[in-house]
Structure 1
Amino acid sequence: MNNDSHKPIIGFTCGDINGIGLELIIKALSDNRILDICIPLVFASNKSINFYRKTLPAINFSYHSTKEFNKLNHKQVNVFNCWEEEVAIQPGQLNETGGKYALISLEQAVAALKDGHIQALVTAPIHKKNIQSENFKHSGHTPYLKEAFNVNDVLMFMVAENMRVGLVTEHVPVSEIAKHITKENILSKIKIMHQSLQKDFGIDKPKIAVLGLNPHAGDEGLIGTEEETIIKFAIKDAKYSMLAFGPYSADAFFARGQHEKFDGILAMYHDQGLIPFKSLAFGEGVNFTAGLPVVRTSPDHGTAFDIAGKDKADADSFLAATFEAIDIVNRRNGYAEARQNPLKRRSARLIANSVDERLEEA
């Protein structure tokens, strides 16, 4: 049997072509060992790849060019040519060109994801301002994908080896956060996190911590009332079907290492969750969009125009996003198979427990 048939095809968008996206792709995919676990397909153009390849003389990167999904080379990185014209690439520059071709890459990659030509998508960073157009009126990838796949809600889920943090609100001005903190919104995010931890991360009975909105989680109503009137009731409803706890004071929660006791943490807003996550994830954090019928990940950083084209970009987070996408595809396949065959699932658990016991004895 051909082992290539079991490797997932992983799509990569180029992101803003004036940012670090293509440099990250070349660096991350230049190690041929990645071809043992997936078939990479980059949505860009030969000319854009070649432009950045010249800025990385120490890296040996080769690829197969294609315009057809049924002609992929399973033993090489593939570049799906989304455009043919000459494009003026200006590393480090924020301009309309960067946004235009980032959207072309994204649209074609999402179409391929919908049609099943790729099994997961890793998105390189975009700039949220210059990508705005008639076809993109969103604050980022997450709401764009929510609309593209017509789902009621999704969760921006930041994952790393040592923690997983989801957000109730994403790219929302601080002055508008409170109006989005509703029982319905919180409960929806808890449910998505719970399902994702089971299906995407293989945790049967995940424990979820919910943070408060206000300093000291409101101090029983002395510093804001959202915890007493909204958040506690959402957690109470969640407890009927899952393990949810809180609300916790965000500063003490991370400072005392409580995040290590939970499988997932739900933060109320962007910086409340991402500042501790990026501080504690050791540069290998991944942004995963939970709640979609497909798999999408991205690195936990932006376009980094200040270092674009200078061979300074660190590909660790991008590599982590690639590995996480592959792992989630495989876990989802295993989850679906286990649901169809509960005996196989029980057998797998018994084997895993036996291995753990032997390791402890050793």
Structure 2
Amino acid sequence: MADRLGGGFGSVPPFTLVLLCCHPVLSTTSQVALTLRAVGGLTTVEIARAYGTTEATMGTRISRAKQRLAREGVRFAPPTDADRDDRMAAVTQVLYLIFNEGHTAGAGDDLVRVDLSREAIRPTRMLHALRPDDAEVTGLLALMLLTGSRRAARVGDDDVLVPLDEQDRTLWDRGLIREGTGLIEAARDRREVGPYRLQAAIAAVHATAGAPEETDWPRIATPYLWLERLAPTAPVRLSRVVAVARAYGRHRGLALLDDLNRRHGVDRDPLTRRRQLAVRAHLLEMTGDGEAAADAYRRAVDLTADRVEERYLRDRARRAEITGR
């Protein structure tokens, strides 16, 4: 099966290989998982984390995808015009997940995996060159560039995570910010508004704020409401909680978090519980309840597998405990 999945891809360009793996005989989920494994080089554990499932379940899914391709006798010829559009949803999702894993690695000693981020941006640029009028592809590329512009400021010299408000903004890559905001401007008059375009708009507000206190949080909270309707996931909901707290007050943020926990069980999902605890701790710290914040930070520490994030959460717990005395 040299010209099928499993070998012979050393000279295949990344974007072409992404299209090849996103074959229409597979479900979108299987396309994404297989491409992350074959193209992105992510481990089964990393892919499982991105999908909110177990390593065993994801391993079985990837294995079955390979078997399905073999049974169908699929040969990896380039996609035709007829099926190329059908593959775009899987392709953009794959590139987004690879970039996210590179931007914030889910486990290990390094918070950032630059290799993965770059591998995601390169084929996304190619995709945008092929489909310059696609607003979601434009939004995806803008999102990657704006998010990636902060990379140099996210981890301090002592390998401690630096939160957005404390980052040295002189380290942000202004070239990437200009390119990202330019892409958003170019797509402004297009009717399609999808999740990538909304996330890019949010990232642009952060990227163009000269200082933390200049951030226009209401302009961030509103797109998150629309984003939650399009992508009702726990990470989106928790990000909206933070935006609402910053825009309209910490007590409204806590009330929203409690409401989301009641209606959607964000705090009961083991795959999002760490983030929920960290968000709650941050809001409690903002209200001055240092003791409760420290407890929530410590519980979040027990659920993280990333060493940089663990050090950050432990430090926040110590600081909150001191303030609460």
TM-score, length of structure 1 as denominator length: 0.29
TM-score, length of structure 2 as denominator length: 0.31
User: Which structure has the highest strand share of the two?
Assistant: 1
Higher relative contact order (CA 8 A, sep 6+): 1
